[in-house]
Amino acid sequence: MGGGPLKDKILVAIPGKEPTEIIKHLEKKFPDIEITFVSPAPDFTFKDSKNLPISIFKDKTILVTFFSLPPTPEDAPSLDWIHFFSAGTNHVVDHPIYKDTDITLTTSSGVHGPQIAEWVIGTALAHSHNLYNLYERQKEHKWKEEGRRYVVHDLVKQRLGVLGYGSIGRQVARLAKALGMDVIAYTATPKDTPEKRADNGYIVPGTGDPDGEIPSKWYSGLGKEDLHEFLKQDIDILVLTLPLTDDTRHMISTPEFEILSRKHTFISNISRGAIIDQPAMIAALEKGLIRGAAVDVTDPEPLPDDDPLWSAPNTIVTPHVSGNASSYIERAFGVLELNLEKRQKGEPLVNVVNRRRGY
Q: pLDDT for 145-189, tens place per residue?
A: 888 888 999 999 999 999 999 999 999 999 999 999 999 999 999
Q: pLDDT for 246-290, tens place per residue?
A: 899 999 999 999 999 999 999 999 999 999 999 999 999 999 999
What's the pLDDT score for residue 265? Answer: 98
The answer on 273 and 155 residing in a single domain is: yes
Q: Tell me, yes or no, whether 356 lies in a domain.
A: no
What's the pLDDT score for residue 148? Answer: 82
Q: Tell me, yes or no, whether 357 lies in a domain.
A: no
Q: pLDDT for 178-192, tens place per residue?
A: 999 999 999 999 999
* Beta-carbon count within 10 A of 197 CB: 20
Q: Tell me, yes or no, whether 103 lies in a domain.
A: yes
Q: Tell me, yes or no, whether 358 lies in a domain.
A: no
97: left (phi over 0), alpha (psi -120 to 50) or beta: alpha
- In the predicted structure, residue 14 carries a pLDDT above the cut 50: yes
CB 9 within 8 A of CB 36: yes
CB 150 within 8 A of CB 144: yes
Q: pLDDT for 287-317, tens place per residue?
A: 999 999 999 999 999 999 999 999 999 999 9
- In the predicted structure, residue 41 carries a pLDDT above the cut 60: yes
Query: Using CB atoms within 10 A of its CB, is residue 355 exposed (0-12), middle (13-18) or buried (19+)?
Result: middle
Higher model confidence: residue 356 or residue 108? 108
The answer on 298 and 165 residing in a single domain is: yes
The answer on 118 and 87 residing in a single domain is: no
What's the pLDDT score for residue 48? Answer: 47
The answer on 282 and 136 residing in a single domain is: yes
The answer on 158 and 102 residing in a single domain is: no
The answer on 129 and 259 residing in a single domain is: yes
The answer on 245 and 213 residing in a single domain is: yes
Side by side, the strands of the sheet bearing 9-13 are 34-38, 9-13, 62-65, 81-84, 104-106
Query: Which whole number is the average pLDDT over 193-207?
Result: 95
Rounded distance between C-alpha atoms, residue 212 and residue 202, angstroms: 14
Q: pLDDT for 68-80, tens place per residue?
A: 999 999 999 999 9
Q: pLDDT for 91-144, tens place per residue?
A: 899 999 999 999 999 999 999 999 999 999 999 999 999 999 899 999 999 998
The answer on 295 and 154 residing in a single domain is: yes
CB 108 within 8 A of CB 332: yes
The answer on 146 and 236 residing in a single domain is: yes
Percent of the chain with pLDDT over 90: 86
What's the pLDDT score for residue 50? Answer: 56
Report the CATH number that the domain containing residue 137 is assigned in CATH: 3.40.50.720
pLDDT confidence tier of residue 88, bands split at 50, 70 and 90 = confident
Interacting residues of 177 by C-beta distance below 8 A, sequence separation 6+: 183, 214
Domain count, the chain: 2
The answer on 154 and 70 residing in a single domain is: no
CB 113 within 8 A of CB 167: yes
What's the pLDDT score for residue 152? Answer: 92
Write out the residue range of the structural domain in which residue 82 sits: 9-111+325-345
Q: pLDDT for 207-256, tens place per residue?
A: 999 999 999 999 999 899 999 999 999 999 999 999 888 899 999 999 99
The answer on 213 and 159 residing in a single domain is: yes
- Tell me the backbone φ, ψ of residue 11, rounded to 5 degrees: -105, 120
What's the pLDDT score for residue 2? Answer: 45
Hey, which residues does 345 pair with through a beta bridge?
Answer: none
Interacting residues of 175 by C-beta distance below 8 A, sequence separation 6+: 117, 118, 120, 121
Query: Using CB atoms within 10 A of its CB, is residue 202 exposed (0-12), middle (13-18) or buried (19+)?
Result: buried
The answer on 28 and 55 residing in a single domain is: yes
